[in-house]
Amino acid sequence: MSYQVLARKWRPRNFAELVGQQHVVQPLVNALDHGRLHHAFLFTGTRGVGKTTIARILAKSLNCETGVTSKPCGQCSACLEVDEGRFVDLIEVDAASRTKVDDTRELLDNVQYAPSRGRYKVYLIDEVHMLSGHSFNALLKTLEEPPPHVKFLLATTDPQKLPVTVLSRCLQFNLKRLPPEQIGAQIQKILDAEGIVHDAASIRLLARAADGSMRDGLSLLDQAIAYGGGQVAEAEVRAMLGTIDQNLIENILQGLEAGDVAGLLRVVSEAAEFGLDYEAVLKDLLLWLHRIALAQADPALAGEAGGDVLAHAGAMSPQDVQLYYQIGAIGQRDLPYAPDPRSGLEMILLRMVAFRPAEAGEVRSSVPAAVPAPKTAAPTTSVPAPHAAPSMTPRTDPVPVAPAAAVAPQSPGAPEAKWGDVVARLGLAGLLRELASNTTLESREGDMLTLTLEETHAKLLNKEREEELRQALEKYYGATVRLKMNLGRPSAETPAKERSRLQDERQQAAVQAIVEDPNVRALQEKFGARVNPASIRPKV
């Protein structure tokens, strides 16, 4: 006997064997059990999720010799003939190859005749959206009022292309993509029944590669068995699918944790040597970051690779993981626009390292240690060229990076630094930085620091941020710090207001310098030009 592919050999023969799609199976079972059957059903969904399979089981349920039932016997001649595809009263039509109106009329000419063998004559029209407009028009009247012995079962992957007149005449069931867990469980069941040697990692790879389609998953399983010479192993499945060795992703994660740029670039070079798909590397990295984020939220969600995931979850902060994922997701979208995929992946990894949040008390400069930083020039103003269009993008003045010596831990007994300078050197980010920037240091007695927060920013304050701010101050001072937060009107200018005031002063100085510039005045007098203050930015 010739070999039968797994997708056909293991096609479900009744509703109980179906994997998933319970939201479709349950109403069909109830309709069969209570005798409330519609004359036309429409099954929609992506490829390989069970549309045709459910339609055939329904045809078997309608014509089983034991009677109309949701549990066909599978032993009578009608059930066996439906399973073998030779039941005379199940007319399967491929609409993709019979799109003409003449084909549809020929089909409908036989609707009026009673079934030859079964209880119902069942018309199963696959990919029904491929019918022409005239074919749909020819079908409409019969589809609305067919003879009592006729049932129409329509299946399509693209219901948007169906006329609303057809949709309104059918009961519509939308089949969902199957999750990898369900596909993996079915693959496991089949491998056990077939007596094929396998491992859990290979099943996970095949289930994920199936992309929601059970038929695709079983086709890949057939391919993997052939590739592995009668067994299914992770190494062979990875080679067949072209997926990424997890050691490579492990090295990338370790490079991100250590901020090792050279190590990350070495990993990309290794990927190039093995001819790996850079987009697949990035996709696998995002999947790992997702697992790590889940494990940080709840260790029970670490999944099968729990030990490795939990190790990385402890080595990375949740802020880092979220930032890496966001940079990677945006980079995945932009990767096709890179000069070449390798440079695109390298830039994404460099962004992950360069823009990770600084720890409390950490000062990081974008200038490499081997390159001396340029000397800071005195603030000047720039005069735009007469022909240059004014800039429409606002630029934010960068916060000056404090020298490394200035952030050494200070004792609470040391001379008091300006509160704005202290906040700048804490290296805070996000809402925590906003909280600190809108406070003033009212007093410091021993290890007790009393801060006053602007009432208008009260929503920034909670127990978690207060504790994070206290820990950052402890690192800065190098000693135990107790923190007392008050809401009210600060007695002095907060760092945020000071920064805003300085920016306004620099902006006004820049505008004044442009207005008083002799060249600008000459342009105004000669060409009637006007100065647009909104286009002027102070030069840092």
What are the domain boundaries of the chain?
6-174, 180-241, 246-354, 407-492, 505-535
pLDDT of residue 145: 87
CATH architecture of 180-241: Orthogonal Bundle (1.10)
Please, are residues 317 and 432 in contact by the beta-carbon 8 Å criterion?
no
Q: Cβ neighbours of residue 125 under 8 Å, at least 6 residues apart?
A: 93, 95, 131, 152, 153, 154, 155
> What separation in angstroms does the CA of 372 have from each of 4, 91, 194, 376?
70, 80, 67, 12
Q: Distance between CA 390 and CA 386 in Å, rounded?
A: 10
* Site of tokens 């990375």: 316
| 6-174 CATH, one of 3.40.50.300, 3.40.50.1360, 3.30.830.10, 2.70.98.90 | 3.40.50.300
What local confidence, expressed as pLDDT, does residue 267 receive?
87
pLDDT of 243: 67
Q: Where are the beta strands (DSSP E) in 32-185?
A: 40-44, 90-94, 121-126, 150-156, 171-174
How high is the pLDDT of residue 388?
38
First to last CA, the chain: 82
Label the pairing between strands 439-445 and 171-174.
Answer: unpaired
Q: Are 296 and 324 in contact (CB under 8 A)?
A: no
pTM of this prediction?
0.56
Which of 3.40.228.10, 3.40.50.11540, 3.30.300.150, 3.30.70.270 would CATH assign to domain 407-492?
A: 3.30.300.150
417/424 Cα distance (integer angstroms): 11
Q: Starting from the edge strand earliest in sequence, which strands make up the sheet with 171-174, in order?
A: 90-94, 121-126, 150-156, 40-44, 171-174
| Alpha-carbon dihedral sign for residues 483, 489, 495, 496 | positive
| One-letter amino acid for residue 330 of the chain | I
Candidates 249, 438, 199; CA nearest to 349 is: 249
Which of helix, strand or coil describes residue 484?
A: strand
C-alpha–C-alpha distance, residues 89 and 116, integer Å: 6
Q: Do domains 6-174 and 407-492 have the same CATH topology?
A: no
Pick the CATH number of 246-354 from 1.20.272.10, 1.20.120.530, 1.20.58.1180, 3.90.400.10: 1.20.272.10
Residue 342: HSE in the Cβ half-sphere, 13 Å Cα cutoff: 12
pLDDT for position 306: 58
The reported pLDDT for the residue numbered 404 is 37
| Residue 493 β-bridge partners | none
Which pair of tokens denotes residue 436? 């600190």
Residue 366's pLDDT is 43
By C-alpha distance, which of 126, 124, 129 is closest to 158? 129
Is 92 in a helix, a strand, or coil?
strand
Name the one residue in this structure whose structure tokens are 């032993």. Answer: 75
Spans of the chain, pLDDT less than 70: 1, 243-245, 303-307, 356-416, 540
Contacts 24+ apart (CB under 8 A), 189-195: 190/6, 190/10, 190/218, 190/221, 191/221, 191/232, 194/6
Residue with tokens 């906003």: 434
At 420 the pLDDT is 86
